[in-house]
Chain A
Amino acid sequence: MIEQIRNQARQLLENGDVDVVIGYAEGSDPSRTTPIFIRKAEDVEKLIYDPRCINSLPLYLNKRHEYTRKGWKKTAIIGKGCDIRAIVQLIAENQLKRDEIYILGVPCEGVVSHPEKWDGSLHDGNRASKCIGCDVMIPHETDFFPGEKPDVDRSSPYEATSKNVATLMELELDKRFAFWRTDFDRCFKCYACREVCPHCSCNTCITDETMPSWIDPAAHKKGVFSWHLTRAMHLVGRCTGCGECTRACPMGIQVDLFNQRMKEVVQESYSYKPGYSLEDKHPLITYKVDDREDFIK
């Protein structure tokens, strides 16, 4: 499989069809992989793909990042299904054009939840929660796919949300609040969750605004709560569930629980799954005649 991808990447680079190929390479230790930017055809042998490839590469396609200003006209990117959802969402939000991008789709069997859990194979003990019930193991939007691409029914809801969401939702409201009070106590507002998110694309983040300063910059409860709740709200109907925010958090706060819960709510209320259509706008900014109205009291 990876041989076919390498060949395709080599051809693309040799023909000058793309300026760069973004993929994964072996990392600093055997459990890790690292994102790699390949500009020379001879380097394609470095490309790998296996369950250790957990990083969300579409992050680099976000206009906010310096990389997009390097003048590269066309980029090829290795995408597992969930990353391609992020790419599709970026296109739907006008942050990227479809013809700027060449998607090398890979069939994916799931990835590990964290590099440390890698023990040579993928099993239920170390599989990321987003991979359970995934309907894009055969990716939906690709320019190249190794072998024949079978038809997959993607009409069902998103993959199962993390068990932690359900556990949390069962708690009483004040207990749930207490959980977050303790969890957020550890947040020191490094904004890793923002930096790693493929959909945070504002030039000036609301948290950096000073006139007025809607989100208190300090890392006390008020500042932390307003940051995380705003982040969750800004991603409603947009988050494609890569889970990178939680993985990137140095304090181990499960910040994507909010996003997963919002994803459920959007799905139940509007049967909408972000990341599957290049044109559809998310339900919070659109209105349809048959939209649910029963929650308006």
Chain B
Amino acid sequence: MAKIGVFVCQCGNNIARTVDTAEVAKYCSEQDGVVHVEDCKFMCSAPGQEMFKKAIKEKGLDACIVSACSPKMHEATFRNAAEAAGLNPFKVEIANIREQCSWVHDDKEIGTAKSKDLTKMMIERIKFNKPLERYVMPLTKRALIVGGGIAGIQASLDLAQAGVEVHIVEREPSLGGNMARLSETFPTLDCSQCIMTPRMVEVQNHPLITVHAYAELEQLSGFIGNFRARIRQKAKFVIDDLCTGCGECWEKCPFSTESEFEMGLVKRPIIYIPFPQAVPTVPVIDKTECPKILKDKCGLCADVCGPDCIDFTQQDEIKEIDFGAVIVATGFQLMPNVYREYGGWRPPHMTPKKLTAKMRKALPRSDAGRLVDVINGLEFERLASASGPTGGQIRRPSDGKIPEVVVFIACVGSRDCNKGVEYCSKICCMYTAKHTMLYQHAVHHGKSYVFYMDIRAGGKGYEEFINRAQNEGAQYIRGRVSRLTKKGDRILVKGADTLTGQAVDVEADMVVLATAMVPQGDSEQVAQTLGIGYDKHGFFSEQHPKLMPVESSTGGIYLAGACQGVKDIPETVSQASATAAKVLGLFSKDEMMRDPEIAIVDQEKCMNCWDCITVCPYLAIDRAELKDRNGNFRKWAAFVNPGLCQGCGICNTACRSKSIELMGYTNEQVYAQITAFGGDII
């Protein structure tokens, strides 16, 4: 006969307010197998736990139920306490009478009755609990960083400096991400590339860091401490080890296409590095454009290449590497197609000449598609950058004229429940102020206007920066812009000044939109590849908004930078360092303890449909050959690798023949639990 102890917690008044704990305890004491009950004010307190341990020892309990808060909160606490008292930790179960009972009910009678049921179900269930032993698992001390922007760079350097081997996977040909595009950074106006490129070089030269540039993460399997990544190294058609980065090939390439790095403002060769300081300085051939690859014409780059490193036959290469932890730092993009809102819409990277009559017709306003001089923030950054297409002179894209009047529009797409995203894009107030300054510094007699909703400048030195921008000549107008129209070779900005209540018309030479920051277009797919949560916008979800802001919902995967939410550079860098600290904490031990609540297969019953293999998100199930006593093949059956199984129970549900049991959640346990509550219904 079982000797079960039931401990009912009042949680101060949290539970006791709507549950008569004394009555629950009395009810439990009448159940079969229950030999000890307690009604306690705070079970999780030190005296509460002492009482718990004492009862186990003195009464010789062989199973315990704690009726208290969610097992998420204190299951580990009581299992550890039971272990200390000599009871197998998996003979302790929690009945959740707080989150699932007292907090959601007002009526004490109902609350008490439900608490009785919940606890009774656990009493019946625990009679089938078997003692289980924890596993010791090895740990791979190597970290994977997805994304080579400033967040990935910072995290990789922090980790490498602490002695951890790091691999960075970057899908573009070079590290750098969006920060490499910026001209100067707020609030200090220091040159972005000047502070970033030394870091990039450091990454390249660090013996513990491997950069997989122009590569993508295809699959991530395994679990915390033991991930396996499948990385697709896209064909560069250039042999890394031989290339000296001399530049002969990209200078001679006779073909060109819009440069992604320069936001389509200029062209780049087909064999290219995105920008001069690229790391690694190995060019790639854009196989969608290269005439040699498409129709076997040209091949000039191969002719001029001194070290003979161009190989048009190169194929994508798949690498499988084991990792212990993953840092996701995939960054952001600016909201695409916002031009539409202001009548200045044009397809990305497409000059008006290329618009067909049909496309023109599809545009929302009559004069739409023609306002080339309406640009977004990142495009302005390139115009202002010394390494940009204009060499740092601010010239408008249409005719290259230096703009005399520039209008900056804040909150484009952000804080807009109807047409854009609801959230505040956070960095736009700051970078718009920076843009006015950069413009004012380059064009001394120029005039800049900023249409804004509110100024949000909460950061060290940020408000001062805004004041400085206003003192340097930017005219701030509080109000929204209704539309932009063409007027001669200028743009008529129709707006309102809500402080004076007047309509404001400005004739501008160029308009800069402070476009909202949104996640990368494929962030949902990335999240699904990694198996982490994401919100409705596509930002990856943190485990807890306050207390676990850099952990993803999956153990061993951490989030750094703008892929988790809008962030400026200082915040991104701090978060990246935080993830590095988390990874170092994980890697500080040589092995990990794993819970034994994993699936096992009754191989005789298994009818090898392999549905379990299809559903298993951790690739933990394999096919096994069963042999008879003479070593002859007998049958196939599924086999669960205990090292990989996470105990999620999906295989258990998918298995029609009920050949799979989840330890700690066996069919018998769950059946007992259900029948204790509603077995007689129908």
| Residue positions of A touching B, CB distance < 8 A | 63-64, 93-95, 201-206, 209, 211-212, 214, 221-222, 225, 234, 281, 284-286, 289
Q: With A201-B607, A211-B667 in contact, do A221 and B656 touch (Cβ < 8 Å)?
A: no
Q: Does the CB pair A203–B605 fall under 8 Å? A: yes
Q: Does the CB pair A202–B656 fall under 8 Å? A: yes
Q: Does the CB pair A206–B656 fall under 8 Å? A: yes
Q: Does the CB pair B528–A289 fall under 8 Å? A: yes
Interface stretch among B37-45, B217-225, B609-617? B609-617
Complex: A201 Cα to B655 Cα, angstroms: 12
Within 8 A of A (CB), among B616-675: 654, 656-658, 667-668, 671-672
A-B pairs with lowest CB-CB distance, top 5: A212-B671, A202-B657, A222-B682, A285-B615, A93-B609
Q: Does the CB pair A94–B608 fall under 8 Å? A: yes
CB neighbours of B657 from chain A (8 A):
202-206
Complex: A16 Cα to B672 Cα, angstroms: 56
Q: Does the CB pair A203–B667 fall under 8 Å? A: no
CB neighbours of B605 from chain A (8 A):
202-204
Contact size range, B: 20 to 34
Complex: A281 Cα to B524 Cα, angstroms: 23
Q: With A212-B667, A285-B654 in contact, do A203 and B610 touch (Cβ < 8 Å)?
A: no
Complex: A30 Cα to B507 Cα, angstroms: 94
Complex: A95 Cα to B607 Cα, angstroms: 8
Q: Does the CB pair A206–B607 fall under 8 Å? A: no
Q: Does the CB pair B668–A211 fall under 8 Å? A: yes
Closest to B675 in A: A212
Extra pairs beyond A203-B604, A203-B606, A206-B656 (5, CB < 8 Å)? A202-B605, A202-B607, A202-B656, A285-B615, A289-B525
Complex: A63 Cα to B615 Cα, angstroms: 23
CB neighbours of B671 from chain A (8 A):
212, 214
CB neighbours of A234 from chain B (8 A):
656
Query: Min CB distance, B566 to chain A, in Å?
Result: 25
CB neighbours of A214 from chain B (8 A):
658, 667, 671
**CB < 8 Å neighbour of B609 from A201, A205, A284, A286:** A201
Q: Does the CB pair B608–A212 fall under 8 Å? A: no
Closest to A93 in B: B609
Closest to B128 in A: A212
| Residue positions of B touching A, CB distance < 8 A | 524-525, 528, 604-611, 614-615, 654, 656-658, 667-668, 671-672, 682
Query: Min CB distance, B666 to chain A, in Å?
Result: 9
Complex: A225 Cα to B524 Cα, angstroms: 41
Complex: A63 Cα to B636 Cα, angstroms: 12
Complex: A222 Cα to B668 Cα, angstroms: 19
Q: Does the CB pair B607–A63 fall under 8 Å? A: yes
Complex: A203 Cα to B637 Cα, angstroms: 12
Complex: A289 Cα to B525 Cα, angstroms: 7
Complex: A127 Cα to B525 Cα, angstroms: 48
CB neighbours of A211 from chain B (8 A):
667-668
Closest to A225 in B: B682
Could you list 24 A-B pairs, sorted by A, with CB under 8 Å?
A64-B607, A94-B608, A94-B609, A94-B610, A95-B607, A202-B656, A202-B657, A203-B604, A203-B605, A204-B605, A204-B657, A204-B658, A206-B658, A209-B667, A211-B667, A214-B667, A214-B671, A221-B682, A222-B682, A225-B682, A285-B611, A289-B524, A289-B525, A289-B528
CB neighbours of B610 from chain A (8 A):
94
Q: Does the CB pair A285–B614 fall under 8 Å? A: yes
**CB < 8 Å neighbour of A281 from B528, B614, B668, B672:** B614
Query: Min CB distance, B219 to chain A, in Å?
Result: 14
Complex: A144 Cα to B682 Cα, angstroms: 52
CB neighbours of A93 from chain B (8 A):
609, 611
CB neighbours of A221 from chain B (8 A):
682
Q: Does the CB pair A209–B658 fall under 8 Å? A: yes
Complex: A201 Cα to B672 Cα, angstroms: 27
CB neighbours of B658 from chain A (8 A):
204, 206, 209, 214
Complex: A289 Cα to B523 Cα, angstroms: 12
Complex: A186 Cα to B611 Cα, angstroms: 34
Complex: A286 Cα to B609 Cα, angstroms: 14
Complex: A63 Cα to B604 Cα, angstroms: 14
Complex: A285 Cα to B611 Cα, angstroms: 7
Q: Which of B604, B606, B611 has the most CB of A within 10 A?
A: B611
Q: With A203-B604, A285-B614, A289-B524 in contact, do A95 and B682 touch (Cβ < 8 Å)?
A: no
Closest to B606 in A: A203
